[in-house]
Amino acid sequence: MTSLNMFLLICNVLSIFVYSCKKDIGPVTPKVEDLQSVSVAPDSIHYKVLSPYIILNPITNLVMHSSGCGYVFNPHDTITTYDLDLDSNGVADLQFLSKAYYEFHSASSPCVNYLRSTNISALSPSDSLGFIPYVPNNIYIFKTLYSSFGDTIDGGNRFQNQSNFSYYVYQGLSRPEAIHGGDFYLPLKRTLNNKTMYGWIKIDTIGHGGIIIKEYAINSTNGNKIICGQTH
């Protein structure tokens, strides 16, 4: 056998060997991503700090009532308001209203006629605010609707869906119900362009029942939860 024939024979044997090895490997199965990890869209948080903070506190001090029954708000019949535009499109979405006023309840104790209320209203049917009913008379007040840092806001929360529905806190010196001091997070739900978005508004309470609106965040990813205090 010549050297050329020997070389060709060796090449043929090697070709058969390589081909048979490839056949044994078989087709490679592509890696399948975890379905749960690819089905949940990432969070897209719109976060804003109000600078300066918005302060709503119509009461500057307390004065002794002329009857001597105790201290009452001063001044009364005073209203302060702030309209919040959540998406900066020039249209107000929520209204905050705080007022001190006189409303007759008792002739024997005129001090209880001096009241204060804080009202937060959704101005559009697309927005709603989280709440917990205050049993037994189903009054919605701050001390029962607020959330704390780290709480989850999602479809498990209860929201009032009526446009212009308001939350009230009444405070007379004989019946203080308002929170004094400390931040809380007001749950928010928006339904826009076939998307459901959850958010929070950070509010502080000051003085004789006034509030400070500090910051807010909204998760614009459809259906995704948001954590109170989450900013990104």
pLDDT tens profile 41-62: 899 999 999 999 999 988 888 8
What tens digit of pLDDT does each residue of 94-113 get? 999 888 889 898 888 888 88
Per-residue tokens: 108: 């024997």
Classify residue 220: in a domain, yes or no: yes
89 in Cβ contact with 80 (< 8 Å) = no
Regarding predicted confidence, which is higher, 15 or 221?
221
Give the span between the Cα atoms of 117 and 209, in whole angstroms.
Answer: 8
* pLDDT value for 131: 72
SS3 call for 225: coil
Q: How many domains does the chain have?
A: 1
Residue 65, both tokens? 């009532």
Tell me what pLDDT residue 177 has.
Answer: 43
Q: Print the SS3 string covering 160-209.
A: ECCCCCEECCCEECCEECCCCCCEEEEEEEEEECCEEEEEEEEEEEECCC
Pairing mode, if any, of strands 114-122 and 78-84?
unpaired
Query: Could you tell me if residue 138 is inside a domain?
Result: yes
Q: Evaluate whether residue 37 is within a structural domain.
A: no
Within a domain: residue 21? no
How many other C-beta atoms are found inside a 10 Å radius of the C-beta of residue 224? 18
Angle at the Cα of 135 from the Cα atoms of 138 and 179, rounded to 5 degrees: 90
Longest CA–CA separation in the chain, Å? 132
Reading the block at residue 24, the tokens are 């044994």
Going 196 to 198 to 203 to 209, the CA torsion angle's sign is positive
Asked if residue 47 belongs to a domain, the reply is yes
Q: Which domain holds residue 176?
A: 42-227
C-alpha R_g of the chain: 32
Token pair, residue 216, equals 């807010």
Q: What percent of the chain has pLDDT over 70?
A: 66
- pTM surpassing 0.85? no
Average pLDDT, the chain: 76
179 in any annotated domain: yes
- What is the per-residue pLDDT for 39? 54
**28 inside domain:** no
* 192-215: pLDDT as tens digits: 989 999 999 998 877 776 788 999
Q: 149-190 pLDDT, tens per residue?
A: 788 999 888 887 665 555 555 444 434 344 445 788 888 999
pLDDT of residue 153: 92
Backbone angles phi, psi at 90, to 5 degrees: 85, 5
CA geometry: angle 16, 19, 22, nearest 5 deg: 150
230 and 217 Cβ atoms separated by less than 8 Å? yes
Query: Is pLDDT larger for residue 114 or for residue 6?
Result: 114
pLDDT for 141 equals: 44
Residue 200 lies in a domain: yes
143 vs 69 pLDDT, higher one: 69
Helix (H) / strand (E) element for 36: namely: helix 35-39
Q: Which residue has the higher pLDDT, 152 or 25?
A: 152
Q: Tell me the per-residue pLDDT of 65-85, one tens digit each, with 9 for 90 and over.
A: 999 888 888 898 999 999 999
